[in-house]
Amino acid sequence: MTRPTSSIIRRRTILTAAAAAGVAQVAAPFVWSARAADNVKIGLDNPLTGTFAALGKNELIGAQLAIEQINASGGILGRQVDLLVEDSTSGDASVAVQKANKLIDRDQVNFLIGNINSALAQAMANVSYEKGMFHIVPGGHTDSVTGTQCHWNVFRVCNTTRMETNSVSTVLLKSYGKKWYFITTDYAFGHSLQQGFEATLKANQGTELGADYTPLGTTDFSANLIKAQSTNPDAIILLLAGDDMINCLKQSVQFGLDKKFHIAGAQQELEVNLGLPPEALFGDWVFEWYWKQPGVPHVEQFVADIRKRTGGHVPTARTWFGYAAIHSCKLAAEAAKSLEPIKLAKAMQGMVLPPEVALMPNNPFYRKGDNQLMPTLFVGKSQKAPAGGDPEDLFRTTQLVKGVDAALSVEDTGCKMVWPS
């Protein structure tokens, strides 16, 4: 029998515990798979836990489908391909960098893919640049990745934040008015989105009534919403991501703010809409890819393939990012006829994605000079699932915007690429 004892906890122990609670939020499991020594290796360093876990999982599903297709069609340069997956966590750059180093140094991958979080993507880009590793950022949006901190070896599939704000700002200014209040997630992604909109406001003589930077992982937005409504804006612009966006939209509906003001933003994701109750599905946003594209070649097949892997769920933009990133590795290797990073990077510049990878109109291509993919952006409205329709049809595209029309010129991005001699 256990002898009962009085509590022997000390305050110091509680403080240690509180500190460890912080560590708990960044600790994460490792994922690895068996692989043959002569196979081509692609390392994916992306969030599988934390606030971006759902996004990371969808990028992984797209990547896995691409690997399966590539291996079924003979692999890369005649060699089978292995996908090595690491959990970068959702917000700890040191973990993402440590995993990137592990993939490059110990696993000796040929390609590095990641990250969803802009800050982590930038940190990984700096590592891959130092080590001369060919690197594709599938879903980290901050402008600097292919802008002021661009590197010859780093390419990006998703849009820059400036492309997102530019594509939707005309709609917002026309429909909503010119007095905006920003609620912005306090890291690289939110900051650069806000900078984009601020430039738009300035160019159109608009007014920024205020801006609240909220820490990533904020659960309660009520104080920010109280502050925003007190300025009586034309629109409250939400520049948030993942679960933060869900929490803020839910709370703004409960406060009835959606009936008083326009609420909208730049980037929105299907993963967010799927987590919202129907009454919170409103506003004008940008989707970076959407599964419902009647008449666009290969999209239906892609949707069907993904449904088979996900128990019937449709692909999201994240699924396509993962898919396109992996296929880009193969396309680059085949164009370069090599796995050497410099040759891969040279071959990838200006490369147009074939229709079966592009899965969207307007022939997306990797722009020479900043390595940024120029895809098509889907501007539209969040909507409740149509009666009798697909329950995951939660967005209606109203306008397609060409990436080149929304992007800054290479000179204006601030990208000055230095190639190794």
Partner 1 sequence: MSTLLLFNVFNGLIIGAFYALMALGLSLILNLSGVINFAHGGFLALGGYIAYTLIPFVGFWGALLLSPFVTAAIGLAVERVLIRRLYGRDPLYSLLLTFGLAFMLEDGTRYIWGAQSLPYQIPQWLDSPLSTEFFFLTGYRVFMMGLVALVVLGLFLILNYTRLGLRIRAGTLDLETVSVLGVNVRVLRNLNFGLGIYMAGLAGVLAVGMLGLQPTIGDSLIMPSFIAIIVGGLGSLPGTLAGGLLIGVATGVTTVFFPSASEAVMYVMMAAVLLVRPRGLLGEEGRF
Provide φ and ψ at 84, rounded to 5°: -105, 125
Site residues for partner 1, window 244-273 (CB under 8 A)?
A: 246-247, 250-251, 253-257, 271-272
Site residues for partner 1, window 87-146 (CB under 8 A)?
A: none
Buried/exposed 107-145: b ≥16 CB within 10 Å, e otherwise: eebbbbbbbbbbbbbbbbbebbbeebbbbbbbbbbbbbb
Indicate which single residue of 94, 108, 148, 223 sits in contact with partner 1 (rule: CB under 8 A).
223
CB of 370 to partner 1, least distance (A): 30
Report CA-CA distances (Å) from 217 to 50, 109, 192, 220, 246. 9, 32, 18, 9, 11
Give CA torsion, residues 337, 338, 343, 345, to 10 deg: 90
What angle in degrees, to the nearest 10, is found between the helix axes of 118-131 and 188-203? 110
Site residues for partner 1, window 324-343 (CB under 8 A)?
A: none
Compute CA 87 distance to the chain's CA centroid, rounded to the nearest angstrom.
15
Residue closer to partner 1, measured from CB, 260 or 416: 260
Indicate which single residue of 4, 78, 294, 295 sits in contact with partner 1 (rule: CB under 8 A).
4
Q: Among 328, 376, 321, which Cα is nearest to 351's?
A: 328
Site residues for partner 1, window 189-218 (CB under 8 A)?
A: 212-215, 217-218
CA Rg value for the chain = 22
Indicate which single residue of 43, 50, 283, 315 sits in contact with partner 1 (rule: CB under 8 A).
50
Residue closer to partner 1, measured from CB, 211 or 410: 211
Residue closer to partner 1, measured from CB, 104 or 280: 280
Indicate which single residue of 82, 92, 234, 243 sits in contact with partner 1 (rule: CB under 8 A).
243
- Give the list of residues 6+ apart from residue 23 with CB closer than 8 angstroms, or none: none
156 forms bridges with which residues in the sheet? 137, 372
Instruction: Classify 62 as helix, strand or coil.
Output: helix
Indicate which single residue of 202, 227, 337, 416 sits in contact with partner 1 (rule: CB under 8 A).
227
Give CA torsion, residues 156, 161, 164, 166, to 10 deg: -120
The single-letter code of the amino acid at 212 is: D
Contact between 384 and partner 1 (CB under 8 A)?
no
Burial tier of 311 (Cβ tally within 10 Å: 0-12, 13-18, 19+): exposed
For residue 213 the two structure tokens come to: 């930077």
Contact between 300 and partner 1 (CB under 8 A)?
no
Give the Cα separation of 132 and 243 in Å (integer): 35
Residue closer to partner 1, measured from CB, 97 or 213: 213
CB of 20 to partner 1, least distance (A): 6
Contact between 31 and partner 1 (CB under 8 A)?
no
CA atoms within 13 A on the CB side of 112: 31
Indicate which single residue of 33, 205, 219, 421 sits in contact with partner 1 (rule: CB under 8 A).
219
Contact between 352 and partner 1 (CB under 8 A)?
no
Contact between 34 and partner 1 (CB under 8 A)?
no
Residue closer to partner 1, measured from CB, 82 or 208: 208
Stretch that binds partner 1, among 135-143, 148-156, 222-230, 351-359 (CB under 8 A): 222-230
Indicate which single residue of 203, 226, 304, 352 sits in contact with partner 1 (rule: CB under 8 A).
226
Stretch that binds partner 1, among 16-24, 70-78, 79-87, 292-300 (CB under 8 A): 16-24
Interface with partner 1 (CB under 8 A), residue total 65
Stretch that binds partner 1, among 44-52, 71-79, 80-88, 155-163 (CB under 8 A): 44-52
Q: Binding residues for partner 1, per CB under 8 A?
A: 2-11, 13-18, 20-22, 24-25, 27, 29, 49-51, 53-54, 56-57, 186, 212-215, 217-220, 222-227, 229-230, 243, 246-247, 250-251, 253-257, 271-272, 274-279
